[in-house]
Amino acid sequence: MTPLRISLAAAALLLLPAAAPAQNGKKIYADYHGVRYTRAHDGKLGRWEMHAETAKSKTGRKTLCYNADFMDAEGRHDIAAVAYPQAGMQSNLDPDYIEYQILSAKAAGIDGFFIEWGFMDHENDKLLRAMQPVAAKYGFEIGVNWCDGWLYYDWITRMHPEIDTREAKTEHYARCYQYLVDNVLSGPTAPTVGGRPVFYLFGPGAKPAEYAYAASKVRLPEGMPQPAVLRRWAEWGTLEANRYVPVRWSPEIESWKELGMIPTAWLPARVRPMDAAHPYWDHYAEPDDLIEFMKPFRDSVWMSADPAYTVKSGFAMPGMDNRGCAGWGGQHFYYIPRDGGRTYERMWEFSMASRDSLDMMFIASWSDYTEGHEIEPTVENGDRELRTTLHYAAQFKEMPEDASGIALPARLFDLRKRSEYLASARRKTAAADALLDQAAAAIAGGSYSEAAERLSAAETAVETLEKTLKNSTLDIPESELRFSSDAVHGVRYASPELKVYLPETATRSLIAARAHTGYVEFEYFDDAPTGDFVFIYSRTERQPKNIFATVAKFKTDGTGTWKRVRVGLIPENVLYATTPGFTLMFKGKLKLRDVSFHYTLSR
């Protein structure tokens, strides 16, 4: 093992191998934001839901209330985002969804994801470990955008009470760094540019001296080059005479450069205050501001002959609209217009003008729906950003621009889920699944015509099996339900609790069905916020019961109106039994009415 060296002078880096030569071995990575869950896969929702105060915002918006368990009549969940994923609300830990995302990224010319990561055993570490085997299967790379601020918040202390001082956190920082070296920066899915492992350091955790101390304790595997550390540099700049003026130098970034780090861009600054044309955001940026923001990177890093800059990275992002989170507690709304995809194109074009000096591109982001800068296909934007990525990736990496693979992963994912339902209905899906496995391998290998043929064959096989299903509907109005308390003038109260019982005939029909889908529908009065959640529980046999018994969790938002919503009833989670016991239980301060259940049964 060799020690990780922190270079305090550029001369020390002259001994290291040079980065990949221009137009050879260039890489493209995308930031990956998580973790997002589903009740079906995980029993929780993660970043799909959001409830927060925003009273400090000048927009007049007082709260965020995204109840992601709620669905509308089209099945669209109330997620914490402006755009809705084309694949629907999925779990980041679902292997089928991971496969879809990785193959979609590969088809767009992306080489890997940098998962936003803080420390060992954090939920994002579980996401990283879930992605690695799928990435290895399909020749994809998984790295980290190290958000080391998470380690210096109290998040780590909640998990490890003994790590309660800054000194203890810095010691754990060193252990986390060694973990990354051993498990992320080496191995079959390690992100490498020109043979050198690379990661992005977001901050704002360790100070330069703390980082240097932690890094001095890390030991590299024999033969591993010094990792290239791309340090986020995103200082705000100013607005002068209605023109954005970027920061071109600061003592802070200089202190990181002295440690051998490479200044790399992040989301451009938003310095323009709310105006009549932008009433929903406290600050925004105009398209020209983005280019001005990027110029210091071109002038001081990309064009520099400094040998310390072993991996030079361009940067692109499609736009931003953080109405899904309002700054993660900052109560501040930001906006960068997508301009019909032109913003993303302009950022790529700016970097491509210097492509001979760049070794990689970093995209923010693949999946940050909450801040609204995702490039993953959405209902609103389609796969436009993936096609743009592929167009410029072809220029950057000097590869063919074959867009025929862009739509294939979505077909694959849809067929995976249809086959999964058929299997739950006891249909033999092995032949269809084998075709889907072949299609996935073909997509990963760039054999798109072959993949399309396999998908068509699999679709035929799936459709043939679907025709054997005997489907029926089961609708249970409120008049056929039994409740633990009576309605008052047509309104029921969930405080302290309200139990709902299906009729025995309906329960027996559900038990007899081989597979089913379903939802409960009701109206609730959106009363003044209390700060407390309302819960819907079911009986369950799925472990751990305290997680999978939760059918929904939501808050009121104070609109003073009756709202009609649907909540999915996950077959694996909800227990239907003829033994005494409720079907669902509402618990919390809530008025509701017109409760009904709706199912599609398959045999």
Asked if 455 and 485 sit in the same domain, the reply is: no
What length does the chain have?
603
Is the Cβ–Cβ distance between 395 and 376 less than 8 Å? no
Name the 3-class secondary structure at 315: strand
Using CA atoms, how far apart are residues 313 and 256, in angstroms rounded to an integer?
16
Using CA atoms, how far apart are residues 105 and 377, in angstroms rounded to an integer?
10
Asked if 445 and 375 sit in the same domain, the reply is: no
Give the end of a domain, one of 381, 405, 429: 405
Is the Cβ–Cβ distance between 134 and 409 less than 8 Å? no
Tokens at 475, concatenated: 């609708």
On the CB side of 494, CA atoms within 13 Å amount to 23
Is the Cβ–Cβ distance between 56 and 24 less than 8 Å? no
pLDDT of residue 18: 33
What is the torsional sign of CA 268, 269, 270, 271? negative
Using CA atoms, how far apart are residues 92 and 492, in angstroms rounded to an integer?
36
Tokens at 347, concatenated: 């950022």
What DSSP designation does 510 have? H
Segment-wise mean pLDDT, segments of 10 residues, the chain, 603 residues: 48 30 77 98 98 96 97 97 98 99 99 98 97 99 98 94 97 98 98 98 97 98 97 96 96 95 98 98 97 98 97 99 94 98 99 98 98 99 99 97 98 99 98 99 98 99 99 98 97 98 98 98 97 98 98 98 98 96 98 98 97
Of 76, 74, 77, nearest to 47 by C-alpha is 77
Asked if 452 and 477 sit in the same domain, the reply is: no
Using CA atoms, how far apart are residues 519 and 566, in angstroms rounded to an integer?
6
Asked if 313 and 260 sit in the same domain, the reply is: yes
Asked if 566 and 500 sit in the same domain, the reply is: yes
What is the torsional sign of CA 184, 188, 192, 197? positive
pTM recorded for the entire structure: 0.95
CA distances (Å), 450 to each of 143, 369, 386, in order?
30, 33, 21
Q: Say which CATH number the domain at 569 has.
A: 2.60.120.430
For the chain, how are helix, strand and coil distributed in percent, rounded to 5? 30, 25, 45
Asked if 169 and 68 sit in the same domain, the reply is: yes
Q: Is residue 7 part of a domain?
A: no
Using CA atoms, how far apart are residues 599 and 566, in angstroms rounded to an integer?
12
Asked if 132 and 111 sit in the same domain, the reply is: yes
Domain with 496, as residue range(s), is 471-602
Q: Is residue 306 part of a domain?
A: yes
Asked if 31 and 50 sit in the same domain, the reply is: yes
Q: Is residue 6 part of a domain?
A: no
pLDDT of residue 12: 30
Of 304, 383, 252, nearest to 10 by C-alpha is 304
Please state whether the peptide bond connecting residue 204 to the residue before it is cis, i.e. omega within 30 degrees of 0.
yes
Asked if 239 and 362 sit in the same domain, the reply is: yes
Domain total of the chain = 3
Name the 3-class secondary structure at 69: coil
What DSSP assignment string belongs to 81-133? SSS-BTT-S--TT-HHHHHHHHHHHHHTT--EEEEEE-STTSHHHHHHHHHHH
Is the Cβ–Cβ distance between 599 and 516 less than 8 Å? yes
Q: Say which CATH number the domain at 247 has.
A: 3.20.20.80
Listed in sequence order, the residues at least 6 apart from 180 whose beta carbon sits closer than 8 Å to its beta carbon are 144, 146, 199
Of 535, 528, 525, nearest to 567 by C-alpha is 535
Q: Is residue 4 part of a domain?
A: no
Of 200, 204, 364, 201, nearest to 293 by C-alpha is 364
Give the end of a domain, one of 355, 390, 405: 405
pLDDT of residue 1: 55
Helix (H), strand (E) at residue 182: helix 166-183
Of 471, 527, 494, nearest to 595 by C-alpha is 494
Give the end of a domain, one of 433, 450, 466: 466
Asked if 246 and 285 sit in the same domain, the reply is: yes
Please state whether the peptide bond connecting residue 367 to the residue before it is cis, i.e. omega within 30 degrees of 0.
no
Asked if 462 and 415 sit in the same domain, the reply is: yes
Q: Is residue 9 part of a domain?
A: no
Q: Which residue has the tokens 């249909």?
A: 427
Asked if 68 and 141 sit in the same domain, the reply is: yes
pLDDT of residue 3: 57
Listed in sequence order, the residues at least 6 apart from 405 whose beta carbon sits closer than 8 Å to its beta carbon are 107, 443, 446, 448, 451
